[in-house]
Chain A
Amino acid sequence: MNDITEIFQAMSYGPAPEQADYVEDWLGRHASGFELFIDGQWCQPQTSTETITSRNPASGQVLGKIASAGKDDVDAAVAAAAAAYPRWSGLPGHERAKYLYALARIVQKNSRFLAVLETLDNGKPIRESRDIDVPLVARHFYHHAGWAQLLDSEMPDQQSLGVVGQIIPWNFPLLMLAWKIAPAIAAGNCVVLKPAEYTSLSALYFAQLCQEVNLPPGVINIVTGAGETGEHIVRHPGIAKIAFTGSTPVGKKIREQTAGTGKKLTLELGGKSPFIVFEDADLDSSVEGLVDAIWFNQGQVCCAGSRLLVQEGIAQRLLEKIKTRLQAFRVGDPLDKAIDMGAIVDPVQHARIDALVNAGVAEGATRWQPAIDCPDTGCFYLPTLLTDVDTSNTVASEEIFGPVLTVMTFRTMKEAVALANNIRYGLAASIWSENINRALEVASQVKAGVVWVNCTNQFDAACGFGGYRESGFGREGGKEGMYEYLKQREGKSSKAGNAAPVIATPAPHADDAGRGTGAVVIDQTAKHYINGKQVRADNGLSRMALDADGVGAGRVADGSRKDIRDAVEAAVKAGSWSSATAHTRAQIIYYIAENLGRRESEFRQRLMQFAGASRKAAREEFAATLSRLFSYAAWADKFDGAVHTPPVRNVALAVNEPLGVMGIVCPDVTPLLSLVSLVAPAIAMGNRVVVVPSERFPLLATDFYQVLETSDVPAGTVNLVTGERDALATVLAEHHQVDGLWYHGSAAGSAAVELASACNVKRTWVNHGQPRDWLSAAQGEGRQFLREACQVKNIWLPYGDESRGGKGGY
């Protein structure tokens, strides 16, 4: 039907295709196959002959042949990056800023080309690639040109890492490239990036743009290939950091593969994000929000609002509104400017979505799809609603990664939060309510790295993005994102002696007690300290703690996995510490210092007696310990978040939230000071901690809990379990309710902790066997400790009730 009078009557939509011929010309010029981009040159794989066929998922049409980089090619790319690194990292920030600015500009100048190429390769609607992906790419380079410029003045205590390996997914190919490359090179690192095998084309075009702006060779290397290529990157010893965006299972594998290597790691993984609609929401707007949440990019979005939680009283009405909206949905050719949803990236994904939906239906869910046109060919999937989904249904917890929304109802705010958090992930949450009190309370309670109030899927380079829980760790965007590509410049030690390596001599076991403790008037009973009480070891065993001379100084409880279990349980229940005001926490930490101070002579004596400190060293350690407590009492209400400034009318709050329950495994050096240096920042930020004190000198810790007992520290906030460091550390690392783990011990112990932490993707901070000078303020305290004790939650709060524009009369 194209007769104008007929259209006039029917008021139908016609085709509105975006022109793609110039992109097809470019693809045609590369019909023989794409090469790798290493050291500023295009090169063929050295030995690998495999190629990957890239297809347009909307049509099945072949777009090009992608090279598959082998280990030798990855080696060459890393070598090129390493060679480029000294010069690139040594450039003044302004010089790097100029290159990032040039990249931003050249992306803008090629914006339509990139958008069309992205849509051809990925299947996403041209509206999205044109209006969202590519503008955000340019924005990311602009923003990070700024960080390159300001790095020296704004982050003077930070330095770049070296060669960074980056592995990105297929859902936002170019945008994820920008999210990875921009902060990395702004910070002075050089990059080896592997795009996803389904969608490598825009990265290859971007490499061409890098040549055009004369980026120094080796700063950015693009190696294409499948999972094996990625694995070569992950395992490469010349790489200082891995940044990965992709699925949670692969993320866990990367955590395991990098364990103990000293590689810094950020993981941006899967999600099953709640979309919570309260009865006082603007319902019609929440429906459009859902469209942007789960039908954006065909639902292939890690932070997709895939779980609708709706207040029971309005559920029926909201569902009707959603269905009405979907009846007007347009699914079709991604290059058509007037469609809502394009093609699923690959038949493999299509099959996976379908299988999960079928499983959900088999388990009792009701499927609804609109009666709308859907192309017969190509990889399309209709927008789908799954109602009658109970919490045990597979689709309630599995990430579907497709245009499928599950629906559940709740009665109260409390129940909404409980359902929202009843998931292993924690990437994002969307909250719809016109009551700001309610919205902000829920925002503070959901476990998610990004919270959108009355909006969804908002992204900006100035705001941190990243997950809680099994959605990964690390942030991309904002200052919090820059830290992921930097490391602390370690200050000089005040006294080399205090930085001595961890004392390797293990304390003897109870059966092998050595010499006795000598003549003590009244026997001392050192126990664990769990849930505010002194408790015996679950196994009823104790172990002899030796003094520095190897003389038995007293028995401590010999902790086992059950003691860790009890301690974690207590910490989990002590949630009120995390919600206490920072002022309250500060007061209590000051009070700990006060009460410790009253026992100065006794603790100094014990430092000499148990840890072999000289009189002077004991005095210094004790003084430093008191000072450190004061430092973190001071910090408790001063480690502020930020208000970011994305380019929309909005307040974006970057809130430093505690990790939750943390394990802290302490070193043997300066045993009182190091324990306090680790525990104080953790609790100052609101964490509850399970502490494994120095294995060698545990008696300082068991004395210290008496100070805790008298200082109003709520039960369960600090728990101490003495015993064998690495055995207890592994139990903590494997514990699914432990959100973060700091380990100060051996290199092997560090590796074991990182390896075991993969089970729930917990945050870890390990010393890789390296000593730290706890007496020095530069190494022993400060913002680094606070950052490691927090995760940043970005809360987007758009505002406005005043209409703008509409000038001019008739």
Chain B
Amino acid sequence: MGDNTITAGASTPPTGRDKQADQPSLSLVDSVVRNAGSDFHPAGLDAVRINLSALERRVSSLAGRRTVKKQWQAAWLLRAVSFIDLTSLSGDDTPGRIRRLCAKARRPVRADILAALGAADLNLTTGAVCVYHEMVSTAVDALEGSGIPVAAVSTGFPAGLSPLETRLREIELSVADGAAEIDIVISRRHVLTGHWQSLYDEVKAYRQACGDARLKTILATGELGSMANIAKASLVCMMAGADFIKTSTGMESENATLPVSLIMVRMIREFYEQTGQRVGFKPAGGVSSAKLALSYLALIKEELGDAWLNPGYFRFGASSLLGDIERQLEHSVTGHYAASNHHPLA
């Protein structure tokens, strides 16, 4: 981005990617430093250049360049479980359904499998549970004492076209009900018309409304029109103080893809190099196989480094993914291919 440096509020910009710096672990989640954002720097957006074909080649070759087998694969899959925002976003959600989801979040993998893997002591849970506002209090109650945060989708999810007043109020109400994370949707119209200042102001207002809750900004990448727009929207959200940038609502016709994720991940790296602030990444929708999840982890490890392989900085927005991981883990223990009806329903 040349001289268009984005200056951070507080921290010192690093010289590069310090992969070895802080060894990540689950316990670090709570000590994750929030993104303070920066002023709005439109010049930084002008320098964005994205070549989709090159991104596609990168992700397709990465799947061949990096793979994990045997116990490495099992360990990585367990890690993937810890990144899942176990999600239910349906019009027919009920308290009973959400309580079942939360129970699954507490015990995502069968205890006998964890024991066989020697991983019982990990106290493995999913990264969060993600629900609509009406289900927040139910989820908070159901997860009490587990340390699992509740994330609420908000701001008129999924379209984000309700009045600004009610969008802001929705955030406040969810936070008041105990949501520790707020997944907002950005106004796609600001991106499509190039009103980046408006986008910045909107996200900044959401961030303020969040208070101590972490802000995840959903870009709805399938609706932004171009690759450069995805990159620019990522940067604007980070400038405005997003703690995570997230691909999709899961409701668009196109959800998370590896090339689009690569764009966002590289913008996160850019923002980190400029400001020293780590922002998290959440691909959502369409990540339903263990194999694909491993590709995402390799992508994060290669492009951002190990520090981001931490639930504080990486999540999957998914529900069916867990089922596939469970079956793969069982296979790695027994050597037999597994059936989904042998695993508790989420």
- Mark A residues whose CB is within 8 Å of B: 2-16, 127, 130-131, 279-286, 288-289, 292, 313-314, 317, 320, 323-324, 327-328, 330, 337-340, 434, 454-455, 649-650, 798-810
Contacts and interface: CB of A to CB of B under 8 A. Distances in A.
Nearest to B306: A11
Given A338-B66, A808-B288, A11 B250 contact: no
Contact of B226 (A12, A286, A650, A801): A801
Given A11-B306, A324-B17, 16 more contacts: A3-B118, A7-B71, A7-B72, A8-B122, A16-B69, A282-B51, A292-B57, A340-B65, A801-B226, A803-B221, A806-B222, A807-B253, A807-B286, A808-B255, A808-B286, A810-B320
Measured as residues with beta carbon below 8 angstroms from the partner, the interface class of chain B is 35 or more
A5 B121 contact: yes
B126 interface: no
Interface string B185-224: 0000000000000000000000000000000000001100
B297 interface: yes
Nearest to A339: B65
B53 A808 contact: no
Contact of B255 (A314, A327, A807): A807
Contacts of B65: 127, 330, 338-340
A10 B226 CA distance: 36
Nearest to A130: B64
Interface stretch (B73-81, B135-143, B170-178): B73-81
Given A14-B71, A320-B16, A454 B66 contact: no
B293 interface: no
A14 B52 CA distance: 31
A7 B76 contact: yes
Contacts of A810: 87-89, 250, 284-285, 317-320
Given A324-B16, A806-B222, A808-B286, A11 B118 contact: no
A810 B266 CA distance: 24
Contacts of A2: 71-72
B146 interface: no
Given A7-B72, A806-B222, A285 B2 contact: no
Contact of A14 (B72, B87, B119, B266): B72
Contacts of A131: 61, 64
A455 B53 contact: yes
Interface string B237-261: 0000000000010110111110110
Contacts of B57: 288, 292, 455
Contact of A16 (B68, B288, B305): B68
A7 B254 contact: no
The 5 closest A-B pairs by CB, nearest first: A285-B54, A14-B72, A7-B75, A798-B53, A806-B257
30 contacts: A2-B71, A2-B72, A5-B75, A8-B78, A8-B79, A8-B119, A10-B306, A11-B297, A16-B68, A130-B64, A288-B58, A292-B57, A313-B2, A327-B19, A337-B64, A337-B67, A338-B66, A455-B54, A650-B53, A798-B53, A801-B226, A801-B227, A806-B260, A807-B255, A807-B286, A808-B285, A809-B255, A809-B285, A810-B87, A810-B318
A802 B2 CA distance: 27
B338 interface: no
A338 B68 contact: yes
Count chain B CB atoms within 10 A of each CB in A11, A16, A807 and give the residue with the most.
A11
B275 to A, nearest CB: 16
Interface string B284-320: 1110100000000100011001100100000001111
Contact of A284 (B222, B266, B297): B266
A4 B119 contact: yes
B253 to A, nearest CB: 7
B49 interface: yes
Contact of B79 (A11, A13, A327): A11
A333 B253 CA distance: 42
B91 to A, nearest CB: 13
Given A282-B49, A806-B255, A14 B58 contact: no
A803 B52 contact: yes
Nearest to B265: A284
Given A8-B75, A810-B320, A805 B254 contact: yes
A153 to B, nearest CB: 34
Given A4-B71, A11-B79, A285-B54, A806 B302 contact: no
Contacts, number: 168
A8 B119 CA distance: 9
A285 B48 CA distance: 12
Q: Which of B23, B66, B297, B305 has the most CB of A within 10 A?
A: B66
Interface string B273-287: 000000000001110
B55 interface: yes
Interface in B12-36: 16-17, 19, 23-25
B103 interface: no
A57 to B, nearest CB: 20
A4 B117 contact: yes
B70 interface: yes
Contacts of B122: 5, 8
Given A3-B118, A127-B65, A9 B25 contact: yes
A285 B51 contact: yes
B339 interface: no
B50 interface: yes
Contacts of B256: 806
B297 A14 contact: no
Contact of A801 (B52, B68, B301): B52
B72 A13 contact: yes
Nearest to A798: B53
Interface in B75-115: 75-76, 78-79, 87-89
Among B50, B65, B319: residue with most chain A CB under 10 A: B65
Contacts of A806: 222, 248, 254-257, 260, 285-286
A803 B286 CA distance: 14
A317 B270 CA distance: 11
A279 B67 CA distance: 34
Contacts of B53: 454-455, 649-650, 798-800
Contacts of A650: 53
Contact of A809 (B54, B64, B250): B250
Q: Which of A14, A16, A282 has the most CB of B within 10 A?
A: A282
A608 B51 CA distance: 66
Contacts of A284: 266
Contacts of B117: 4
B97 to A, nearest CB: 14
Interface in B113-154: 117-119, 121-122
Residue with the highest number of chain B CB atoms closer than 10 Å, among A13, A130, A649: A13
A803 B225 CA distance: 9
Contact of A805 (B52, B79, B257, B297): B257
A282 B75 contact: no
Contacts of B68: 13-14, 16, 338
B111 to A, nearest CB: 15
Among A8, A15, A280, A281: residue with most chain B CB under 10 A: A8
Contacts of B89: 810
B73 to A, nearest CB: 8
A286 B23 CA distance: 29
A673 B260 CA distance: 62
A324 to B, nearest CB: 5
B256 to A, nearest CB: 6
Nearest to A797: B53
A12 B284 CA distance: 25
A689 B52 CA distance: 43
A3 B89 CA distance: 37
B124 to A, nearest CB: 9
Nearest to B74: A4
A11 B73 CA distance: 10
Contacts of B119: 4-5, 8
Contacts of B121: 5
Q: Which of A15, A434, A806 has the most CB of B within 10 A?
A: A806
Contacts of A279: 2
